[in-house]
Amino acid sequence: MNWILKMFQSSLGQKLLMALTGLFLISFLLVHCGINALIFFNDGGEMFNKGAEFMGTNFLIRAVEIFLFAGIILHAVQGFSLTFKNQKARPIKYAVNNGNANSKWYSRSMGLLGTLLLMFLIIHLRHFWVVSRFTDEITSGKETLFNEMKEVFENPWVVFIYVLAMISLAYHLLHGFQSSFQTLGLNHKRYTPIIRVLGICFSIVIPTIFALMPIAIHFDFIK
Amino acid sequence: MKLENKIPEGQLETKWEKYRSTVALVNPANKRSLEILIVGSGLAGSSAASTLAEMGYKVKVFCFQDSARRAHSIAAQGGINAAKNYQNDGDSVHRLFYDTIKGGDYRAREANVHRLAEVSGNIIDQCVASGVPFAREYGGMLSNRSFGGTQVQRTFYAAGQTGQQLLLGAYSGLQRQVGLGNIQMFTRHEMLDVVNIDGKCRGIIARDLVSGKLERHFGHAVLLCTGGYGNVFYLSTNAMGSNVTAAWKAHKKGASFGNPCYTQIHPTCIPVSGDHQSKLTLMSESLRNDGRIWVPKKMDDVNALRNGSKKGNDIPEDDRDYYLERRYPAFGNLVPRDVASRAAKERCDAGFGVSKTGEAVFLDFAHNMKYKYGKQVATLKGINNPTEEQLTAFGKDVVKEKYGNLFDMYKQITGEDPYEIPMQIYPAVHYTMGGLWVDYNLMTTIPGLYALGEANFSDHGANRLGASALMQGLADGYFVLPYTIGDFLSKEISTKSIPTTHKAFEEAEKNVEEKINTFLNIKGSKSVDYFHKKLGKIMWDKCGMARNAEGLKTAISDIQKLRDEFWKDLFVPGESNELNLELEKAGRVADFIELGELMCKDALHRNESCGGHFREEFQTEEGEAQRDDENFKYVAAWEYKNTSDWELHKEDLVYENIKIAQRSYK
Amino acid sequence: MKILKLHKEVISNLNPQKKRNSMSGNMNIKLKVWRQKNSNSKGELVNYKVSEVSPDMSFLEMFDMLNETLINEKKEPIAFDHDCREGICGMCSMFINGRPHGPNDAVTTCQLHMRSFKDGDTIVVEPWRASAFPILKDLIVDRSSFDRIISAGGFISVNTGNAQDANCLPIGKNEADESFAAAACIGCGACVAACKNSSAMLFVSAKVSQLALLPQGKPERHQRVLNMVAQMDSEGFGACTNTGACEAECPKEISLSNIARMNREYLSAKLCSEIE
């Protein structure tokens, strides 16, 4: 078993873990986005609440949730660890560095974007997850998650932060999506271009849908 | 001193095989207590180091660069010859042997060259096994191309980077042994003297170029694999750091120098653009497969080219002089290097040079691009009446695939696009056939001191054929020396390591230190480069492509004056105990100055023209080189006596298997 | 703050792909060059002016000229690594205006010519910066970590004399060409210099790829990738973020697909083999 530990301590192993957890989180985003998009039925949150209830009560989903948290934590911890090591690999910086000539700014800022996302995640969890899991407001039926959303998104600052976070997410994904395939060694003349296009679509579509939610609710497009 | 070439008796074809099977061996247990020092990490050095380490010897390798992989073998472009006959075009060991002797203008040893041809096939096998990605055909078999001076396709290649791939192959073998602990690697170390004890070479003094510290290293034998001395001309295709110092120090300690005047001038290099020029860049010989060399016929056109009112393309076909095709119809643009170089010089001297400096000729791809490749592609595409534009476009793609990297390099350096206008080229110093005199075992006249690769004089005679340098370097390192060294080391098994506190080491180190201090203490007014450039100019003008007695005599006295000025007026900044590039250069240029004098002496004494050595007094009516086999069919080995004083020893060249003839490529 | 200003100044007059000035006339160039006496001392950027620079000069020839002037003024010349000056030995290594080997793609410093700049330009020249490449003096760094990585596994274990006939082992043209493309690496370290993490992945993967693609390299492929990666990590290079900066700056245009191949090799060595 020692070999597993050793593997994930090497730089390639750490990156592998980043890629695997990253892809797992990407799959979660898809589910999360799918359920939440139910609010766009504009039926007073009926469909959405049903979905939310299913997600909140289904045993399997709850079990996967543990993995999800593990994934997030692993992704973040590895991310910080790698960033720290990478910083150490160049203790003295260049006086002039024209990084834009050879790479995209967001690919060089994954640590920063990731940190922003982590901060957002804490706010986000506080807004919804804590309320739905640790208070009895929703389980007791006093309140629905949909109403909770309406309440939270009344505040324009919150909407602003959510939209900003989704922009961060878009850029994080724009690099992360295709990068994870590269790290897993999945690079092929035929398929890599497809993965790239898919990655770009995913990174634009999913965060846009997410960002539309607070906006739509705040401006009462959804009632 | 008597020169003993130790060529074994017997039939030429079986000589090496027999010798290899009878040369004394060292048993494995004894190998572990024998130490070998190797200076230089190019093809010869790396391959010898890995092979000897594999056999069990304790090896130390020294190079002045920051890694063994930087050695200048890496810059060889075209390819490596081997008598494999994979193309089924009638190639054989004998044919490679014959071509090499003839190409060398009958000034090389039969036995050495035959051995080289014999092992050439093994080299390719060894390189492929160690992962060198040679060019291949679709069926998976190795691909070949042809080079100057031959009529078969025997050149193996990896795009225009064959030297790089071969060196990286040898380097990986070397690093493997470093990892296994069998080789100790000393990078950024420069050898500054050899140490002789009781008439045998027993070690070296090396300077750690980072700390400046002098180090003593003992070895039962020392191998110099330090390349050629083309940089004596200042401008050459050699790397900036290529130097003669190791070989020269050995020479001054008793190793004779063979045929120093044989220098190869490569016909296709990018011309000098100004005084700032620091080195010259080669355009591979393979370009002559498809490029046609010409100058204008009319003086008016020449003037128009020089003042910029005309470009090469503006001159009509009839007004062009394709002088190689005119003079040598049989080989055309693919004559050997010495012939092509002299022909270019002849045209430029006659005033037909096409650049502002008057020292350039055109290498033109337009014709073959359009009518050879363009037509081919058009036919493949089924276009019956292609337009001129179509032909050019089709041909350009083919040329790009074949020579793209060279064309890009040309454009990068000159700022001109060779796809649109003809390249300008001019001959430049490229390789030195001369070097330390060695016997059949590759041992110099100092017992225990060996010279391999370009550093020795042995296999190319007076002119080297293209793609033969890589072959020789690897042959020496992989397949010759590891056997022949047994002849010496088998007698050394009871010799204990000599401690480096021995007075010979002490004395040698003291001398080196004094020399270094002298450089720093002259505190004159001129930089090292000033002297190097001046030396280069003397050598190029008087001992370059064409030489004459008058000029050589002037050159000798000019060089002596320059030497005196050097030791009086040199300025070297910095200290000896630090990384000091100027100090390194000073030592190298000091040796080049002394070597320059010897080269001129050798050129002056050789009253004939052969290969790379062309004496204007000795030419046929058509201006071809005229050998004098009666008087000069020998290797000139110079023994150092004192400053400006050498004694000439002659090693007769015996041709039992080849009929000597006037070289003709008409 | 000073650095930031400098950064802005240089970047603002950068336009890498656009061809600069002028076949005619000489240029005046302002240089800011990193000077550092030895590995223990602190370095700084020092200003120099070079005039009469010909557009036909190579970048290193411009440095030669500056050094000649410095020597004539009895000052210490700038130390920089260089050797073949034809773009193949991999020795030259300058970080020019924020990019390894300067503004042009696919060239080494020695092949960069002054016609890529214009009169009056300020050029900032720094050494490669990475903890695995300690500075020895001025612009010279120690890249022996690369040699140690090769020693760890960048070879085929075949002793001289063991080889069979070269054509006994047919290798498809595509594999041979791809292997060659990876083997074209000159080991200059521009990939490390360009990478925000100072990662050596492109260098290491090029060697792993070259040998993994060839049948001769297959027997020890697992051991090779494990050893080379372990050595790479222990030298203190960073990890790969797949930004692609290495590929963009590589003078020999070594492809990122090599890194993917190395990841694959590593994974298969870890998961499928029994090697520790």
Tell me which of B412, B429, B446 is where a domain ends: B429
- What is the spatial distance between Cα B93 and Cα B116, in angstroms, rounded to a whole number? 9
Query: pLDDT tens across C165-216, in order?
Result: 999 999 999 999 999 999 999 999 999 999 999 999 999 999 999 999 999 9
Largest CA distance in chain A: 60
Instruction: Assign residue A72 a region (left: φ > 0; alpha: ψ between -120 and 50; beta: otherwise).
Output: alpha
Does position B445 have pLDDT exceeding 70, yes or no? yes
A215 in helix, strand or coil?
A: helix
Do B and A make contact, counting contact as 3+ CB pairs within 8 angstroms?
no
Tokens of A53: 């209830």
Query: pLDDT tens across A179-202, in order?
Result: 999 999 999 999 999 999 999 999
Q: A86 vs C256: CB contact, 8 Å cut-off?
A: no
Does position C21 have pLDDT exceeding 70, yes or no? no
> Considering only CA atoms, which of A115, C88, C127 is closest in space to residue B158?
C88
- pTM for this one? 0.96
Instruction: Specify the amino acid at residue A106.
Output: Y
Does position C9 have pLDDT exceeding 70, yes or no? no
Does position C17 have pLDDT exceeding 50, yes or no? no
* DSSP state letters, B377-412: HHHHHT-SS--HHHHHHHHHHHHHHHHHHHHHHHHH
Instruction: Report the gap between the CA of B57 and the closest CA in chain C (Å).
Output: 14
> Considering only CA atoms, which of B596, B589, B617, B592 is closest in space to residue B538?
B596
Q: C107 vs B412: CB contact, 8 Å cut-off?
A: yes
Query: DSSP alpha helices (H): ranges in B463-548?
Result: 469-474, 481-484, 486-489, 503-522, 528-543
Q: B257-283 in b/e burial notation, b at 16+ Cβ within 10 A?
A: bbbbbbbbbbbbbbbbbeebbbbbbbb
- Lowest-confidence range among A169-183, C10-24, C102-116? C10-24
Best residue of B51, B123, B124, B125 to probe chain C, by most C CBs closer than 10 Å: B125
What backbone torsions phi and psi does residue B652 show, to the nearest 5 degrees?
-65, 140
Region C58-86: mean pLDDT is 97
Asked whether residue A191 is assigned to any structural domain, the reply reads yes
CATH number, domain containing residue B539 = 1.20.58.100
Report the percent of chain B where pLDDT is more than 70.
Answer: 100
Instruction: Report the gap between the CA of C164 and the closest CA in chain A (Å).
Output: 33
Chain A residues lying within 8 Å of C233, measured CB to CB: 10-11
Residue-level pLDDT at C240: 97
CATH number, domain containing residue B283 = 3.90.700.10
Q: C245 vs A98: CB contact, 8 Å cut-off?
A: no
Instruction: Specify the amino acid at residue B441.
Output: N
- Torsion (CA) C254, C259, C261, C266 in degrees, nearest 10: 140
C143-272: CATH superfamily: Alpha-helical ferredoxin (1.10.1060.10)
**Which regions of chain C carry the CATH code 3.10.20.30?**
2-126
- What is the spatial distance between Cα B408 and Cα B73, in angstroms, rounded to a whole number? 21
Query: pLDDT tens across C120-134, in order?
Result: 999 999 999 999 999
User: How long a stretch of residues is chain A?
Assistant: 223
Domain count, chain A: 1
Does position A140 have pLDDT exceeding 90, yes or no? no
**Options 3.30.465.10, 3.40.800.20, 3.10.20.30, 1.20.140.10; CATH of C2-126:** 3.10.20.30
Of C32, C196, C256, the CB nearest to A182: C256
- Residues B386, B525 share a domain: no
CATH number, domain containing residue A63 = 1.20.1300.10
Chain C residues lying within 8 Å of A189, measured CB to CB: 257
Range of the domain at A69: 2-218
Query: pLDDT tens across B486-525, in order?
Result: 999 999 999 999 999 999 999 999 999 999 999 999 999 9
Tell me which of B403, B429, B455 is where a domain ends: B429
Region C236-263: mean pLDDT is 97
* DSSP state letters, C214-253: SGGGSTTHHHHHHHHHHHHHHTT-B------HHHHH-TT-
Side-chain half-sphere of B318: how many Cα atoms within 13 Å? 0
A53 pLDDT band, cuts 50/70/90, is confident
Q: C197 vs A90: CB contact, 8 Å cut-off?
A: yes
B323 pLDDT band, cuts 50/70/90, is very high
User: CB contact, 8 Å: B176 with chain C?
Assistant: yes
- Residues B421, B276 share a domain: yes
Residue-level pLDDT at C5: 60
Q: C88 vs B164: CB contact, 8 Å cut-off?
A: yes
Tell me which of B371, B400, B429 is where a domain ends: B429
User: CB contact, 8 Å: A57 with chain C?
Assistant: no
Tokens of B374: 């363009």
User: CB contact, 8 Å: A82 with chain C?
Assistant: yes
Angle between helices A156-183 and A11-36 (to 10 degrees): 130
User: CB contact, 8 Å: A109 with chain C?
Assistant: no
Q: How far apart are the first and last CA of chain A?
A: 54
CB B212 within 8 A of CB B188: no
B200 has which bridge partners? Answer: B197
Asked whether residue B630 is assigned to any structural domain, the reply reads yes
Residue-level pLDDT at C12: 53
Asked whether residue A103 is assigned to any structural domain, the reply reads yes
Asked whether residue A223 is assigned to any structural domain, the reply reads no
Does position B662 have pLDDT exceeding 60, yes or no? yes
Tokens of B59: 């090896």
Asked whether residue A52 is assigned to any structural domain, the reply reads yes
A135 pLDDT band, cuts 50/70/90, is confident
> Considering only CA atoms, which of B229, B202, B207 is closest in space to residue B218?
B202
Domain count, chain B: 2
CB B268 within 8 A of CB B283: yes
Range of the domain at B411: 266-429
Q: C254-274 in b/e burial notation, b at 16+ Cβ within 10 A?
A: bbbbbbbbbbbbbbebbeeee
Q: A10 vs C230: CB contact, 8 Å cut-off?
A: yes
